Each structure stands twice: as C-alpha cells, then as structure tokens.
Structure 1
C-alpha cells in the first residue's frame, strides 16, 4: 500500500503546485484570490476538497495500476462524496454571485487591493469584507465554516488512511471511503450559515483600498489598450 500512499501525496503536491505556485511564477493571481485581490474562503474550501479527493483518486488508480489491475479506475465514488463536492462548489458559485453583485452595486464599500498590488495575509479571508471594519474584524459566519471544513477534511483523510491500511492489495480497493450523512448535513448547515452571513451590507469605507478604485484602475488600463493596441500597460 506504500505505493498508493506515495502516489496520493505526490498527486496532492502537484495539484497545489499547479494551482498556487505556478500562477505566481507566471506573474498572475493564484486561484486562492478572488476578483478583489483578497484571499477567498470559498476558493480555499473548494481547493481543499479538490486536492484531497482528486489526489486520493489518483493515488488509488496508480496503486491499482502498480498492482497489475487492468481496470485502474474500477472503483466507486460514493454518493455522499458527490454531494459533498456539490455543496462545496455550489456554495462557492453562490458566494461569487453575491460578491459580484455587491462589487457592482456598492463598490465604494467593498474592500479590495489595488490592481497589480494584491497583498494581505492568508488569514484575511476570515475577516469582514465590507464597511469600515473590513479586514479588521473576524466574520463569525466565515470562522465557523472554516473550522468545520478543516475538521471534516481531517476526518475524511483519517478515514481514507484507515480504509487503505485495511486493504492488503491495492487491486482490492473498491472505492473512495463514504462520507457520513451526519457530517454531510453539518457541512450543508455550515455553508448555509456562511452564505447567509454575506447578505448584510456593513456601512463605511474600508481602509487600504476599495473595489471602486480597483474597477477604476481596470477601466483606465482598458482605455490605454484601446488608445494604443500595440502598447503594453505598465
């Protein structure tokens, strides 16, 4: 089973490398930042489950291949795991829609970094995104969602490790470990609370930059490109 575990770890490292490290080397924004230039909790959650599940599938497939199994992808993906992905991705899509709506209707109250000068620490994703307290106060809805997500990720990884250890031959791997229905409900409730927490619109102007300024910079850059198609913006 050592081959399966190593393939799992290597696959996870490759996914993280492609999603986070490579974009920064190319001078582009990594996948964990949103259109505001801030680290996004919904993006981090989707990334976490993507790394865990895709790397696990890759590791199991390689383990079956190394064991001489012809049907390397002949294992099952439980419905609970599909529902888990649906909740995570669906929540991320709704979160993006809310962000776009607020960035469009009240950009002067939405915190954002200047175009090309994205900064902030990773844990800033747990703070308020709008109003005078943006970046200063912890958002309780975000905090609970992050803690529950990390807890469930760790529990699922532990469950997967135990399931793999219980199989003597990688060729005998029947499928990904199932996800408890109770945990699935907990995840759904947590994401519902996270999305409802995005509804209020705190008043005030954030320090360090707003979405209005970022949009103005984008518009100015577009005007430069239109005026001189061959010119490169600074």
Structure 2
C-alpha cells in the first residue's frame, strides 16, 4: 500500500497496451506446449518438473502484462492491492498443474496406455478446496464493509502513519476498505497488511501465518512431486499429510475469521 508521493502514479492513467503485447501472448500460447513437451522429453527427471513449472509461471506473467500492463496482475485485487488469497491459490495451481503435466507427458514418453491416468489423491483435492474457499470467501466476507464508513480519527491516524493525505484515502477507499488508486501502486507488502483503513498501516498476523504455511506446504509438496518424478513414479501425484491439511485449514480459517472484525470503528455510510 502506497502513499500519493511522486513515483506511485496515484491517479495516473494506464497507457494503452501495445498490440505487440498481444502478439507476444499469442506466440507464447503457441510455443508453450512445444516447449513443455521438449522439456519433459529431453531434460532428466526432476529438472523437467522445474522447467515445466517455470514455463507455466512465465505464461502467467506474460498474461498479466498483456492484459493489464502489469506482470503480477493476477495477484492484484479489485482494490489494486496484492492479494494473499490470490497468491496462495496461484501457487497451488502452478505446483499441482506443473506436477500433473510433467507426469502426464512422462507417461506419453514411456508409451503408457492412458496419458491422463495420473491419479489425484483426495488430500490434494481438499487442499485445493481450502485455497479456493479463501479466494472466493474473501470478497464475500468483505462485501458488507463497502457500505460502512471508517471513524475519522482512525483515518487521520492512518494518514499520519502512511504519510498519505486523508483526502486521498477518502477518495479511493471502498467503504472502510483501503484501496490504491491504480494497479501500479500494488506492492508485495499489501499481502501482510490489514484490509481496512483503520488497520492498513499494521501487520496482520493471520496473513503472515497463512503466507508461511502456504509457502512451506507448497514447497514441501513440490519436492515430493520432484522425488516421485525422479523415481519415475508417474501413476499418481503424492498425498498431503493429514497434519499439513490441518495446518492449512487452521491458517485459512484464521485468515477469513480475521476479516470479519471491525477494525475501523465503522458506522453505516
């Protein structure tokens, strides 16, 4: 979250996206399947997984740049802030899709009867469901806060802490929810700050907890997939432990529950 100082493009207008960006997107869309196939065919087991997930990530960056003019656009919410729920959903999507695609193409290379016969364990479906619940539940939980107004004293306090004029905060906020004026104002720090005008200058511990649990779980699962690929075990994606599922459920539950409180002494608008 940023102030309205020079360099933040506050109130600025996005330049028209060059047609060349769409051309690069079309080239990437065409070239990616070929590159993924070549990666899985020629790179040794393990490295083919790294290459596949890297290309999937690159594709998402190009998609964001082509459509919104910002490479990390898929992480930015409608309030022009980096969203933690979007981040964790995107991380799991890349990790799971990268693993599934790598195993599928390995089965093709081995001449298996069913290339798409890679089994997906129930625990992984549950983990993806938890991530999706946070992604879809966040706007539902915050929706009612758009019809309320923050306490003026808290707006003033936030103004002083962020070195941002109160007029700018009031001009761009959505009810009690803090918002940036433009996509280019989004920062990675947004993922760890409060959602409301009253607590946006403070670190949200529930968000920090969910970020680390997501990062640890996704990294650990990526390594499990890599080891399975190196063992040439292509029949099923690895399972997630019940303990890890419990940690993910608790962290995501705390994340959503923390959004329900009133942190701005709000009143009906």
TM range (shorter): 0.7 to 0.9
In the alignment, what sits opposite 1:109?
Answer: 176
> CA separation in 2, counterparts of 1:145 and 1:158?
20
Q: Which residue of structure 1 lines up, in the alignment, with residue 246 of structure 2?
A: 185
CA distance in 1, matches of 2:203, 2:265: 16
- Does residue 26 of the first structure (1) align with residue 67 of the second (2)? yes
Aligned match for 2:142, one of 95, 99, 117? 99
1:17 aligned residue: 58
Moved more, 19-28 or 52-61: 19-28
Equivalent in the alignment of 2:202: 137
Offset of residue 67 of structure 1: 1.8
Instruction: Give the structure 2 partner of residue 128 of structure 1.
Output: 194
Q: Give the alignment of 1:148-167 within 5 angstroms.
A: 148-167=213-232
Shift of 1:40: 0.3
What is the correspondence of 1:1-234 to structure 2 with a 5 Å cutoff?
2-28=43-69, 30-106=73-149, 107-114=174-181, 116-134=182-200, 136-167=201-232, 172-203=233-264
- Deviation, 1:23, is 2.1
2:185 and 2:225 map into 1 onto residues whose CA distance is 36
Match of residue 229 from structure 1: none
SS in 1 for 2:118: coil
Aligned to 1:231: none
Q: 1: distance between equivalents of 2:91 and 2:121?
A: 18
- The whole-number CA distance in structure 2 between the counterparts of 1:165 and 1:117 is 41
Question: In the comparison of the two structures, how many residue pairs are matched?
Answer: 200
CA distance in 1, matches of 2:139, 2:185: 20
Q: Distance in 2 between matches of 1:103 and 1:184?
A: 32
Separation in structure 2 between the aligned mates of residue 7 and residue 62 of structure 1, nearest angstrom = 10
Query: TM-score when scaled to structure 1?
Result: 0.77
Cα deviation 1:87-114 (Å, max 9, x = unaligned): 1101211112123332344434211111
CA RMSD of aligned residues (A): 2.3
Could you list the per-position Cα deviations for residues 16-65 of structure 1 after superposition, in whole angstroms to 9, with x for gaps in the alignment?
A: 23333322233356110111010000000000000000111011111111
Where has structure 1 moved over 6 Å in runs of 4 or more? none
Structure 1: unaligned runs, 5 residues or longer: 206-211, 213-234
